[in-house]
Amino acid sequence: MNSTPTADQTCEAAVPPAVRKCSYAEAIGQGLAQAMELSDRVCVLGQLVDYKPGVFGTTTGLVEKFGPDRVQDFAVAESAMTAAAIGAAIAGMRPVLIHHRLDFMLYSMDAIVNWLSLWRFKSNNASALPVVIRAIVGKGWGQGPQHSKSLHAWFAHLPGLRVAVPATAFDAKGLLLESIFGEDPAIIIEHRSLFGLSDNVPSRPYRVRYGKAVVRRKGKHVTLVAIGIMVPLALRAAVQLAAQSIDVEVIDLRTVSPLDIDSVCESVAKTGRLVVADPAWCTGSVAAEVIAAVCEREGRNLKANPGRVCLPDSHTPMSSALEEAYYPNEDSIVNRIVTQFQ
């Protein structure tokens, strides 16, 4: 319809023709564009989705291709926006909602909890809501307490939702497509700091399944489970630890609901050690769930007490000096793992 390049076209071509090097943000944009091409039932709702900056580049170019009805700027009314997506899904659409910050979603919690999550259940499986909510989590440059919350533990606690926390561009696109064309509501938590990272991304539309963790690095001595932004930190920590002859198996959970506890248990059965790195407040975190679920099955076989690397139970400070103390880094992971061998 016009000449604005789509995310797909802007990706720089890589060696195998079917795979291109893309950033996490580009991969999401590609996924959205392909979903909208595959089905005219797919629409995008969110503040400012139809302007050039396109939610950190993830919706840039869509309005030119699909028009302002299907790429719909929304008033600052997150509550009605979410309910509208629910209604649109009842009417047969497959809406994708976007929040620049997860924090803004809090206004829509009634729609999410009391309607979205329980619609299928209370209809006795007669009505489904394939609504996708993309929620972005800020970090750094003084995001402060109202632009940085990663509430994936909340959504994982709720029945009736699928919850993904993709850590790579590959997963970001594959989980987005899987969510859009799945039959359940899905919440995708995207850590803003990952948007610039590149990865090999297949050009065609593909799926990444919910409830299937992936081993990002094989190892024998300790199982390090990581979520979202903690995945690259975990891989870096693993390199550091290899130098100390600690062989770390890194598991990326990918989705926190459903949780792939089987894969974690399998790894722990081999390593006998478990550390979970979760970019969320420690108390009541998904990390706690992973540890509890593993201990219920493998607790007696552990060679060391399990451990967590999480954020402190505190709101996020603005000051860069405090941010540094607040966010765990790869050294935090290294240190936690090292104590298991002392």
Partner 1 sequence: MTIINHQTILEAGRYRELSLNGADPVVVARLHRFMLRLRRCEEALAREYHPADEMRCPVHFCIGQEAVPAALSESLTQDDYLFSHHRSHGYFLAKGAPMRAMFAEIYGKETGANGGKAGSQDISYAALNFFSGAILAGATAIAAGAALGFQLRNERRAVVAGFGESATDEGIFWETVNYAALRRLPLVLVCENNNYSVFSPMSKRQAVETVSDKVAAFGMKSVTLFGNDVIKVHAAIADAVEAARSGKGPTFIEAYTYRWSGHYGPESDDLVGYRSQAELDAWKANCPIALLEEALTAQDWLSTAQKTEMLHAIDSEIEESFSFAKTSPFPRDVDWAQMNLSNRSPLADKLLMDIDLDVFDENQTFVQAKGY
Ligand X SMILES: Cc1ncc(C[n+]2csc(CCOP(=O)(O)OP(=O)(O)O)c2C)c(N)n1
Of residues 32 through 71, those in contact with partner 1 by CB under 8 A are 38-40, 43, 47-48, 51-53, 69-70
Among 80, 158, 214, 338, binds a copy of itself (CB under 8 A): 158
Output 215 or 304, the one with its CB closest to partner 1.
215
Residue positions counted in the chain: 342
Beta strand pairing status for 186-191 and 274-281?
unpaired
Closest CA to 238 of 213, 261, 271: 271
* 157 is annotated as an active-site residue: no
How far apart CA 163 and CA 117 sit, in angstroms, is: 11
Output 168 or 285, the one with its CB closest to partner 1.
168
232 makes contact, choosing from partner 1, a copy of itself, ligand X, none, with CB < 5 to 8 Å by partner type, with: partner 1
Q: Are 308 and 337 in contact (CB under 8 A)?
A: no
Beta strand pairing status for 222-226 and 248-252?
parallel
Binding mask 91-110 for ligand X (x = CB under 6 A): ---------x---x--x---
Q: Looking at 147, 152, 191, 221, which residue is catalytic? A: 147
Output 262 or 303, the one with its CB closest to partner 1.
262
Q: Does 178 bind partner 1 (CB under 8 A)?
A: yes
Angle at 134 between CA 9 and CA 236, to 5 degrees: 75
Region from 37-45, 178-186, 226-234, 311-319 binding a copy of itself, contact rule CB under 8 A: 311-319
Closest CA to 88 of 38, 36, 41: 41
Phi, psi angles (nearest 5°) of residue 223? -95, 120
Angle at 202 between CA 23 and CA 180, to 5 degrees: 85
242 makes contact, choosing from ligand X, a copy of itself, partner 1, none, with CB < 5 to 8 Å by partner type, with: none
Q: Are 318 and 146 in contact (CB under 8 A)?
A: no
Q: Does 76 bind ligand X (CB under 6 A)?
A: yes
Q: Are 219 and 213 in contact (CB under 8 A)?
A: no
Q: Does 305 bind a copy of itself (CB under 8 A)?
A: yes
Output 46 or 307, the one with its CB closest to ligand X.
46
How far apart CA 210 and CA 130 sit, in angstroms, is: 14
Output 115 or 210, the one with its CB closest to ligand X.
115
173 makes contact, choosing from partner 1, a copy of itself, ligand X, none, with CB < 5 to 8 Å by partner type, with: none
182 makes contact, choosing from ligand X, partner 1, a copy of itself, none, with CB < 5 to 8 Å by partner type, with: partner 1
Q: Does 168 bind partner 1 (CB under 8 A)?
A: yes
Q: Does 205 bind partner 1 (CB under 8 A)?
A: yes
Output 207 or 297, the one with its CB closest to a copy of itself.
297
Coil, strand, or helix at residue 193? helix
Q: Are 150 and 256 in contact (CB under 8 A)?
A: no
Q: Does 183 bind partner 1 (CB under 8 A)?
A: yes
How far apart CA 145 and CA 101 sit, in angstroms, is: 11
Residues designated catalytic: 147
